[in-house]
Amino acid sequence: MIMGNVSERRRQPPQVGVSVVILALGPASRDSATTADSACDDAGSTLWMPLVRRVRQPFLGQWALPGGDLRADHSLEQSAYAALESTTSLHPRYLEQLYTFGDPARSHGGLPMVSIVYWALVGSVDEHAGLVDGDNVKWFPVDHLPQLAFDHRAIIDYALSRLRGKIEYPQVVARLVGDRFTLSQLHDVYEAVAGQTIDLANFRRKMLASGQLEGTGEKLRVGRNRPAAVYRYAKDALRQSATWICAPVEPAAVATPDDAITALTTV
């Protein structure tokens, strides 16, 4: 048990917990969040995430990433899953460890804390919105986040930078767009991740020339557009990108624009 005044307690070993950044594809307009085809409508898409309203100090009433304490009988990954299930009811098929945040100043004057952060991509908001909406758990678009507790804004920015640095890997994109997709749907995912407009004609040309895609012979009507060819990632492309998971890097090292996105925005 940690005893003593605040100054003495701050010299004790820090508390350690887990937090999770969950990202899903959703409508660019918040007003269209409940429409059946919102993730693929003409307004485009953006990335969304669930946040939890804190019910205790510090930062009472502010929004934060889902998280929880570690348990001696749980692995780190099991603790992350447990934190998600207890706050959002989400159970993604895969979690990747993002980074460990332990700056002494992150507790803003409270007891020192270390957060082991995980992240996951879970497809479309439409698939999960009913699981987490409520008074204390809500989905937010990443470009319209509320005021956040602790250093969670910096953690989210780091997660987005890591995602942009991984967008060239089919294994990553498939977690958002699915196994089968049109080129317009794939383009929608790239724009959502990049947070900027990508020329569609140039994108189509470069993706078809990349050797990563193969046609399925199917057609799909998306929104009010005419039926479009359906593609999937080639098995070789998926196999080659299966090793995309790597050791976390310093947040400052991923702050520059991603080369893959830059290449797609250049005619």
pLDDT score of 32: 43
Residue 37 has pLDDT above 50, yes or no: no
The pLDDT of 117-143, averaged and rounded, is 83
Please count the helices (runs of H) and the strands (runs of E) in the chain: 9, 9
Distance, CA of 243 to CA of 251 (rounded, Å) = 21
- The per-residue pLDDT of the chain, averaged, comes to 83
36-71 as b/e: b if 16+ CB within 10 A = eebbbbeeebbbbbbbbbbeeeebeebbbbbbbebe
Domain that includes residue 151, residue range:
6-264
Residue 166 has pLDDT above 50, yes or no: yes
How many structural domains comprise the chain? 1
Assigned domain for 22 exists: yes
Residue 146 has pLDDT above 50, yes or no: yes
Assigned domain for 78 exists: yes
Residue 130 has pLDDT above 90, yes or no: no
Assigned domain for 226 exists: yes
Assigned domain for 1 exists: no
Assigned domain for 259 exists: yes
Strand ranges for 167-212 from DSSP E: none
Distance, CA of 17 to CA of 66 (rounded, Å) = 11
User: For 196-238, what is each residue's pLDDT tens digit?
Assistant: 999 999 999 999 999 999 999 999 987 777 899 999 999 999 8
The pLDDT of 130-146, averaged and rounded, is 84
pLDDT category of residue 127 using cuts at 50, 70 and 90:
confident
CATH number at residue 103: 3.90.79.10
Compute φ and ψ for 251, nearest 5 degrees.
Answer: -55, -40
